[in-house]
Structure 1
Amino acid sequence: MLVNATGHAFAGKRIDNKEGDFWQMPQGGVDKGEDPANAVLRELWEETGARAEHVEVVDRLPEELFYDLPDELIGKLWGGKYLGQRQTWYLARFTGSDADIDLDAHDPPEFCEWKWIEPRLLPELIVPFKRDVYRAIVEGFAGLI
């Protein structure tokens, strides 16, 4: 969860989302042998263009969060290898300006649009099968945002 100085969270509209007006926070995987704290900074740069000098990692949720894909997506995403995801979420504060966000920093880009929103709105903007995860993220970081 990337938040700015006013406590609003970054939400991006995925380029590959063809169904619905869904927005999500940056997320990504940890490469083999990569330190998770370094993966946070790398993924934020790849998806938002935010450089490490504009990001302060604040905290991590103590528990992993899980979601399952709905039946209609099983076998269609991630080459059919996975049924859902196990995620570790970090809270990071963005100290740069909006001009420091560059969705084209990485090729291919993940998002086609972005905005800052109140964190409490995040669960309503994400695809329905991830809503419980987003509620847990917002609740887990509420006192630190």
Structure 2
Amino acid sequence: MAKDENYRRGVGIMLLNADKQVWVGKRIDNTDEAWQMPQGGIDPGEQPWETALRELEEETGIPQYLVERIADHPERLRYDLPEELRHKLWGGKWKGQEQDWFLCRFLGRQSDVNIATKHPEFDSWKWVPAHTLPDLIVPFKRDLYRRLIEHWDEYL
């Protein structure tokens, strides 16, 4: 995929439990019933995997030693923000995100998840079957989630 300066660089993690269910959180800032997997932007000088572990801990309280890296998606995936959101997010600088995605296994217990973090992004969380993800996410990210499910089908 060609580099495009109009996309914010980020990462995402599809985190599986022992039953091959995926972790999702319900965003605090969304009035709709929108659930998503952990994701976030890459800070200057940071590598994608390092970012993924940082974001996961910041959003879920899960420390990196409770995460096993299973697979990386071979390409960066993009989503475009709807026009009505572009001026509201990230200071209007980006038209969407271009993300590196990682498939990981959660090695901990339910009690190791703590969304009451320093800067909470979610007000609740749950484990769901992977095939339900596109129905839970905001519409503009559905194709990206479908691509992840299709690519990692053998693990799900």
Match of 1:99 in 2: 111
RMSD: 1.0
Match of 1:50, SS state, is coil
Match of 1:28, SS state, is strand
Match of 1:31, SS state, is coil
Structure 2, unaligned runs of 5 or more:
1-13
What is the TM-score of this pair, normalised by structure 2?
Answer: 0.88
Match of 2:142 among 131, 137, 144: 131
Match of 1:5 in 2: 18
Point out the more displaced range, 22-31 or 71-80.
Answer: 71-80
Match of 2:133 in 1: 122
1:13-52 correspondence to structure 2 within 5 Å? 13-18=26-31, 20-52=32-64
- Deviation digits for residues 57-82 of structure 1, max 9, x if unmatched? 11110011111111221211111111
What is the TM-score of this pair, normalised by structure 1?
Answer: 0.95
Separation (CA, whole Å) in 2 of partners of 1:40 and 1:47: 10
Deviation for aligned residue 1:33? 1.1
Identical-pair percentage:
52
Deviation for aligned residue 1:35? 2.1
Aligned residue-pair number = 143
Separation (CA, whole Å) in 1 of partners of 2:152 and 2:122: 24
Contact 2:24 2:38 in 1 (8 A): yes
Contact 2:22 2:128 in 1 (8 A): yes
Deviation for aligned residue 1:143? 1.1
**Residue 91 (structure 2) pairs with residue 79 (structure 1):** yes
Structure 1, unaligned runs of 5 or more:
none
**Residue 100 (structure 2) pairs with residue 88 (structure 1):** yes
Match of 1:47, SS state, is helix
Separation (CA, whole Å) in 1 of partners of 2:121 and 2:143: 22
Contact 2:23 2:37 in 1 (8 A): yes
Q: Which structure dedicates a bigger proportion of its chain to strand?
A: 2
Report the residue type matching 2:144 in the other structure: V
